[in-house]
Amino acid sequence: MSKRIVVALGGNAILTDDPSADAQQKTLLNTAKNLVKFVENGDQLIIAHGNGPQVGNLLLQQAASNSKKNPAMPLNTCVAMTQGGIGYWIQKAMDEVMAAKGINKKSVALVTQIKVNANDPAFKRPTKTVGPFMSKAEADKDKKAHPDYVIVEDAGRGYRRAVPSPKPEKILEANAVEDLADKGMIPISVGGGGVAVAQKGDSLQGEDAVIDKDYASAELAKETHADALITLTAVKNVYVNYGKPNQKALKHVTVPEMEEYIKQHQFPEGSMLPKVQAAIDYVNATGNEAVITALGNIEGYLKDHSGTIITKD
């Protein structure tokens, strides 16, 4: 039976150790070869993706060339720029793979705006990490050059810049995404969490923030009436006691079980926790399942329902 599926791509599906455009497009070509398995299965696919490394790198480029004649663009515009750029790469890769397989479908990338609350406490507490990882010495140098930056340690992997990350309230282009899916196209939207906009007076204005792509993807799945939310990351399963002798892969788990694991601080804040929380939010709102698994396990999920499957009860 055909399903409408929102697939949220993690950074490993886009960026490897080589941040060049050519390398990222080659990575996305392999990603597309995996994603097309949903299309071959008869599913209606909607794609979402992150942009943390890319928008951080773009901000560095903007800062390095900033001048009166060539002023740096604000963060909200950089989010839109990377959303468009990565969306173009995914669109190109998906269309190339589908054409090679004789699949008569097209994908389309949308620059997506997401409404947030201008008074969200997140604006006063930057937590979303962007850009490349830095050593302590590099982080200290960056902070000295940019005193207004907030730089934090990111899950023991190094230091990165942190920016505000408000919660998404409404996807302004959700109807357009749904219309495209209904017409048999593959929409690519809420890239990088979407461009954060807030109501100010009579108009919506861009906010300098990066919405977490996991929360944005869950909101997208709710608003487009998806049958499942699938978050693709670096591991086949979510683990408890990760890295310890008694680590355990979670396979079929309920929302109450996952909430108990959250209370036990089983999931790192900078990596797995938002994926789990977004999955719980989607399941509670819809009653449908959410899945967290690896890009390379798509075939396993479709065949054996493997991965971490989260259900309401």
Please list the active-site residues: 11-12, 128, 213, 275
As a CATH number, domain 4-111+172-194+210-311 is: 3.40.1160.10
Using an 8 Å Cβ cutoff, are 1 and 265 in contact? no
Average per-residue pLDDT for the chain: 93
Q: What span, in angstroms and rounded, lies between the C-alpha atoms of 266 and 212? A: 20
72-76, 156-160, 172-176: range with lowest mean pLDDT: 156-160
Q: Specify the 3-state DSSP secondary structure of 116.
A: coil
Q: What does residue 232 show for φ and ψ, rounded to 5 degrees?
A: -100, 125
Sequence-ordered list of residues with C-beta below 8 angstroms from that of 7, at least 6 positions apart, any chain:
35, 38, 45, 46, 47, 48, 230, 231, 232
Q: What is the pLDDT of residue 1?
A: 64
Question: Which among 117, 295, 106, 95 has a CA at the least distance from the CA of 204?
Answer: 117
- Per-residue pLDDT tens digits for 55-80: 888 888 988 888 999 998 999 999 99
Cα 69 to the center of its chain, rounded Å: 34
Taking the C-alpha atoms of residue 302 and residue 84, their distance in angstroms, rounded to an integer, is: 30
Quick one: DSSP state of residue 38?
A: H
